[in-house]
Amino acid sequence: MSPTIEDYLAYLSAVRSLSARTVASYREDLTLFEASCLRQGVTPEAALASDLQAFVAGMVKSGYASASVNRALSAVKGLYRYLVRYGKAESNPARDVESIPGARKLPEFLFEDEMAAFIASAEGDDYGAARDRALFETLYSTGCRVSEMTGMTLEALDLKAGKIRVRGKGAKERVVFLSEPAREALKTWLAFRQAKLKAERACPWLFLNARGAKITERGIAWIIERYALRLGVRKRLSPHGFRHSFATHLVGRGADIRSVQAMLGHESISTTQVYTHVDIERLRSVYERAHPHAAKRPAHTTTASASEDTR
């Protein structure tokens, strides 16, 4: 990889404070871009707008999804903004290269009753059940990213005030709020946590795995997958599904989009606005289940079946 790109990746890590996973994503996209440039017979530093357009066209031809193409183009645009800003290039060839159109996939989420049932399934009076219940309640109460969940510390938790400080993307801190069910679940979890660690072991992290070490993002995802399988949840539920549900339910109950943006820690309002569309999809789902002319299902002809349909 060219020294210029390596310098940019180091800048993203050291100056922009992006996570290792995000920087790795940039590296992957810029590696594809550099390979495309070499096929065009140019270096990334000497590329023209036409070379960038060829890169985009090549990704489309290779079958990449529009979201993947646009993500890669965004990485390339960031590279050239960096080069111009720090005097490493005179012009920005990416400035007028446009993203490709593509349908934005609506995020998966649970309805309120589904979420309540999912959280309630974490029952039992032991370390694992207490931890899982606290995890689910906190995910749903705060709308935090899974990376923010693994980074939660005891020092940042204020149970009495019902809030916790989290470090989000770009190392930006924000305060998120804990519902009463989340606070109660956390109180129970903290008792089990303390017993697990014993007095001689100090650990700053709020959520731990079965061995008493810091829980990982994959560990949280696995816990959710296990419960979803047990409950027969047909949706592809992930930790991010709790975040989507949090935002969708807030918007559905009338929360203004700017407040939801702040709670989610979104830098751009456009990222949050997808949840207004999600709520439309929720209404459509209700409509299709309830309206007699909307759903393609056999008509109910008996009193008994009609009663079943209205429960």
**151/166 Cα distance (integer angstroms):** 7
Is 311 within a domain?
Answer: no
* Candidate list 16, 163, 169, 196, residue with the active-site label: 169
Residues 54 and 153 in one domain: no
Residue 232 to residues 16, 64, 110, 216, 226, Cα–Cα distance (Å): 42, 32, 13, 24, 10
Q: What are the pLDDT tens digits along the chain (311 aa)?
A: 889 999 999 999 998 888 888 999 999 999 999 999 999 899 998 899 999 999 999 998 898 888 889 999 999 999 999 999 988 888 899 888 888 876 556 667 898 999 999 999 999 999 999 999 999 999 999 999 999 999 999 999 999 999 999 998 877 899 999 999 999 999 999 999 998 887 546 789 999 999 999 999 999 999 999 999 888 887 888 999 999 999 989 988 888 888 999 999 988 887 787 777 666 666 666 667 666 766 544 443 333 333 333 23
274 with 134, same domain? yes
Q: Please indicate, yes or no, whether residues 279 and 140 belong to a single structural domain of this protein.
A: yes
Assess whether 145 carries a catalytic annotation: yes
- Residue 155 forms part of a structural domain: yes
Number of domains in the chain: 2
CB atoms within 10 A of CB 72: 23
Sheet holding 173-177, edge to edge: 157-158, 163-167, 173-177
Q: Are both 152 and 281 inside the same structural domain?
A: yes
One domain, residues 63 and 167: no
165: left (phi over 0), alpha (psi -120 to 50) or beta: beta
244 tagged catalytic: no
CATH of the domain at 45: 1.10.150
Please indicate, yes or no, whether residues 124 and 251 belong to a single structural domain of this protein: yes
CATH, residue 139? 1.10.443.10
Residues 155 and 283 placed together within one structural domain of the fold: yes
Q: Do the domain assignments include residue 90?
A: no
Q: Is residue 215 part of a domain?
A: yes
Marked catalytic residue, from 193, 243, 249, 282: 243
* 161, 12: one domain: no
Give the pLDDT of residue 55.
Answer: 93
Cα 220 from Cα 209, distance rounded (Å): 9
pTM for the predicted model, two decimal places: 0.61
Burial class (CB in 10 A: 0-12, 13-18, 19+), 12: buried
Same domain, 7 and 79: yes
For the question of residue 284 being annotated catalytic, the response is no
In a domain, 145, yes or no: yes
**Domain annotation covers residue 100:** no
* CA nearest neighbour of 22 among 139, 241, 170: 170
In this structure, are 125 and 44 located in the same domain?
Answer: no
First to last CA, the chain: 62
The residue annotated as part of the active site, out of 165, 240, 277, 300, is 240
pLDDT for position 298: 41
Q: Is residue 175 part of a domain?
A: yes
For residue 287, what are its two tokens? 């409509």
Q: Which of 85, 102, 136 is the last residue of a domain?
A: 85
Grouping H, G, I as helix, E, B as strand and the rest as coil, residue 165 is strand
* 266 is a catalytic site residue: yes
Same domain, 79 and 132: no
Regarding whether 123 and 247 lie in a shared domain, the answer is yes
User: What pLDDT sits at residue 67?
Assistant: 84
Per-residue DSSP letters for 206-256? SSB-TTSSBPPHHHHHHHHHHHHHHHT--S---HHHHHHHHHHHHHHTT--
> Which one from 163, 266, 277, 300 is the annotated catalytic residue?
266
Quote the CA–CA distance of 211 and 288 in Å, as a whole number: 46
β-pair type (157-158, 173-177): unpaired
* 270 lies in some domain: yes
pLDDT of residue 103: 54
Range of the domain at 81: 3-85
